[in-house]
């Protein structure tokens, strides 16, 4: 497998491509000469694609529905003649809360998008990606290895995506297919602003982490990291880079951090605030990017 992957002329499908990291990644790929198709549940997806580039394709699709993604892939192949890369970017973040006070339907909805949606994306694109010795890019999160207190279902989903990426990397290597798993922390997107910043208890939970780990990336910075990883066929993209050490030493750091959080007064006080059933309201913040 070549260490350098020329993106010019390659066709890329991005789920959750209408905003945040998805839209920024589409722009970056277009600038590098790739053919880009974005898929999203929004009815505005075709119009948003045209705004990105007259040559971009926008497809309305729901990652929870395998048939919907099969149809999306078929449209991509009809338009561009092939599909080389699938980026599983669509994701949601539930209301920050303890698991005890998180409605079951919110958990089910999150897992349907963040796990089943990624599996559906991979399955729908599989034959094209294998035929073209292309790539899968899966957006996980630092929450794959960071304690998920206050957002356990989300952290669970990102750990599952990490395992999918690791497994696919091995299973598809003989077919000339590479798999990149992406780990970001906080990205300055609507998902984080709406799902975290508006909740004082959630912000308080984050404040218990070391400040260097709370630096936020712009979507454009995240997009460049993803595309550079694709160009190198990197198995992992981790940004900001300081999280690489945390990931490498997770077996030592994570248990120690877990123990500290069980007795840390600020953490426990924040959990008291989060451990209150919410008034009826929308429980999912839909995102076309991913992250923390």
Give catalytic residues, as residue numbers: 154
Token couple for 28: 């970056």
Q: Give Cα 148 to chain centroid, integer Å.
A: 16
Token couple for 187: 């990205």
For 20: left if phi > 0, alpha if psi spans -120 to 50, otherwise beta; the answer is: left
Separation CA 288–CA 292 (nearest Å): 13
How many CA atoms does the CB half-sphere of 104 hold within 13 Å?
Answer: 0
Asked whether 79 and 12 are in contact (CB, 8 A), the reply is no
Separation CA 52–CA 240 (nearest Å): 27
Q: Is the dihedral of CA 226, 227, 228, 230 positive or negative?
A: positive
Asked whether 121 and 88 are in contact (CB, 8 A), the reply is yes
Asked whether 173 and 136 are in contact (CB, 8 A), the reply is no
């Amino acid at each position: 497998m070549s260490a350098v992957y020329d993106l010019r002329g390659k066709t890329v499908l991005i789920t959750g491509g209408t905003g945040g990291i998805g839209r920024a990644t589409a722009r970056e790929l277009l600038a590098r000469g790739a053919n880009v198709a974005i898929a999203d549940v929004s009815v505005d997806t075709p119009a948003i694609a045209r705004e990105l580039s007259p040559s971009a394709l926008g497809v309305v699709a729901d990652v929870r529905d395998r048939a919907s993604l099969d149809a999306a892939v078929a449209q991509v192949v009809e338009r561009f003649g092939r599909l080389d890369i699938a980026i599983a970017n669509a994701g949601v973040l539930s209301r920050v809360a303890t698991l005890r006070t998180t409605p079951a339907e919110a958990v089910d909805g999150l897992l349907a998008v963040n796990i089943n949606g990624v599996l559906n994306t991979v399955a729908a694109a599989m034959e094209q990606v294998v035929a073209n010795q292309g790539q899968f890019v899966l957006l996980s999160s630092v929450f794959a290895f960071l304690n998920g207190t206050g957002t356990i279902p989300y952290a669970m989903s990102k750990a599952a995506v990490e395992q999918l990426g690791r497994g696919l990397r091995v299973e598809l290597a003989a077919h000339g297919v590479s798999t990149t798993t992406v780990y970001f922390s906080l990205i300055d997107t609507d998902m984080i602003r709406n799902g975290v910043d508006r909740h004082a208890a959630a912000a308080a939970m984050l404040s218990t982490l070391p400040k260097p780990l709370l630096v936020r990336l712009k979507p454009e910075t995240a997009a460049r990291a993803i595309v550079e990883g694709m160009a190198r066929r990197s198995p992992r993209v981790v940004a900001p880079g300081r999280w690489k050490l945390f990931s490498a030493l997770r077996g030592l750091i994570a248990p120690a951090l877990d123990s500290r959080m069980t007795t840390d007064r600020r953490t426990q006080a924040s959990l008291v605030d989060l451990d209150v059933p919410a008034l009826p309201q929308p429980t999912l913040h839909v995102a076309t990017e991913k992250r923390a």
